[in-house]
Amino acid sequence: MKKSLIILFLLAQQMVVPAFAQEVYKGEISLTGKEIYVSEGNLHVRMNVNYEGLKMASNESLTLTPLLKSPDYCLELPSILVNGLEQQKVYHRTEVLSGGKYSKKKNSRFNAPAIVIKNDPKSIRQFSYQVQIPYRKWMKDAVLLMNSRECGCNGKPAKEFQDKIADAIILPKARTSQIKENIDTRYLSLVNIVAPAAEDDTLSMLKGVISFDGDKQLDRLSTEKQNYEIYYRLREAVRGLQQQNGVSVTKLSLRGYGAPIGHLHKNEKQASLRALSLKDYLRENRVAGRTPIEISWTAEDWDSIRSLVQSSDMNLREAVSDIINSVELTKGRERMLMELGDGLPYRYLQSNIFPKVKRLSYAISYTRKGVDTAQGRRLFETGSHSLSLSEFFAVAMSYPKGSTEYNDAMDLTARLFPDSPQAAINAAAVALSKRDTKKAHVYLDKYATLPAAYNNLGILYLLEGNRDKAEIYLLMAAAAGVKEAQQALDELKKK
């Protein structure tokens, strides 16, 4: 069967949709963010491929080919060729000599690779695979497989591995009924919905701390091993962000903190060299791709020492605090601490306070672009919670008011964004349309002074039979320009 590909996207070094990882090819490759759905007559297949665990010699290669397979048909999707460093050189030379034409092995049932990737250990080895093809009826019963074919290099047999990665295609859903049975249409028309402000390319920051006194006792490791452990933990944090939809990491800022060990000027010099060593290591190993890295180091973090002393139960705590606060660092502060109480307080500092001070704090700056409503609906329907407040609102409003999806999206938004007045007011509107006054109170009471909440508070008191309070809130809402409030007031006058 011929395949007519409309679009193939392969975005190297970028992860798009968060999800639980699924392993293929002997567990060495992981897939996340799988999406298989039909839209506007086309089948869309999306997945994120991470091959950092790939154990492959430099002179070997691996071909990854997604297969769409039903009892009667089998369709190969564009394949990916992953070359080791030496194999990539061979491939490049062959490509040049052949004028750019790819030669398939005889009797191979797989197509030429759509993309060729170098398995460079120094890079972030992950990419997003996206393909769009015309949908055919037989695909409804198809499963998606990942075929992994080794090159058969170094005298080894060319083994093939097949892993099932999905067995369901999301067909377009029929629109739900306009209103669920438990919805009161009258109150559904009287409550108001508040749109949150859109967030476009929002600059955010992920912060964390790597302790040198933690499980792995980084302080006892060599500088090289410390750099590796820090790199590994930062890479996991960066990868977690890159797996989120639309996220771009823009900067990595690090600040190290040390404790008093010997001469201050020597510590400051060592701190400077330590920061430079870590920065070079992280850049060389591309912990965050080409993202700028900033590193600084505080040789002796007396601010943290002071705070930890105050919260401790050490002997002579007040005397230690007085010395730290009153004696300058360059005028014998540490010597006076050593002499205090026959040295017992200082030994306590060395064993209980100083190790807690040694740490590396990090801040990963990133921007996040929004998703369109169609993609937002797909994420919502597959249980993803990665949408922003405005994206959840857009998804909810794309469903008929009063439908199950509409109600669920509004309720979920309030749970995921508990500090958002807009989310609470909208969730209260759903509760009021179900005549659930108890739940509406939970959402609305803390926003009783907010004009956007006046109308729904008026409807709440109207449901409870408190006409006086209802009228006050509805009048204030009408004055604030809420059109539903005037409609409720007109109904109130009829009674």
The predicted structure's pLDDT at residue 11: 45
SS3 81: strand
C-alpha–C-alpha distance, residues 318 and 316, integer Å: 6
Below-50 pLDDT ranges, the chain: 1-6, 11-20, 104-109
**pLDDT score, position 474:** 93
- 3-class secondary structure, 384: coil
Backbone angles phi, psi at 384, to 5 degrees: -75, 140
Burial readout 436-458 (b: 16 or more C-beta within 10 A, e: otherwise): ebeebeebbeebeebebbbbbbb
Predicted model pTM: 0.51
* φ and ψ of 166, to 5 deg: -165, 145
pLDDT value of residue 15:
32
Q: Note the pLDDT of residue 18.
A: 37
Q: How many CA atoms lie within 13 A of 122 on its CB side?
A: 8
C-alpha of 434 from chain center: 34
pLDDT of residue 1: 42
Q: Environment class of residue 248 by beta-carbon count within 10 Å: exposed (0-12), middle (13-18) or buried (19+)?
A: middle
The angle formed by the CA atoms of residues 457, 463 and 467, to the nearest 5 degrees, is: 75
Domains observed in the chain = 7-166 (no CATH), 185-199+371-494 (1.25.40.10), 202-367 (3.30.1330.60)
Tokens of 484: 């539903």
Per the CB < 8 A criterion, the answer to whether 360 and 214 are in contact is no
The pLDDT score that the predictor gives to residue 107 is 42
Q: Count of alpha carbons within 13 Å of 35, Cβ hemisphere only?
A: 28
Q: How far is CA 115 from CA 8, 19, 75, 83, 397, in A?
A: 10, 24, 18, 11, 39
Which pLDDT score is estimated for 181? 66
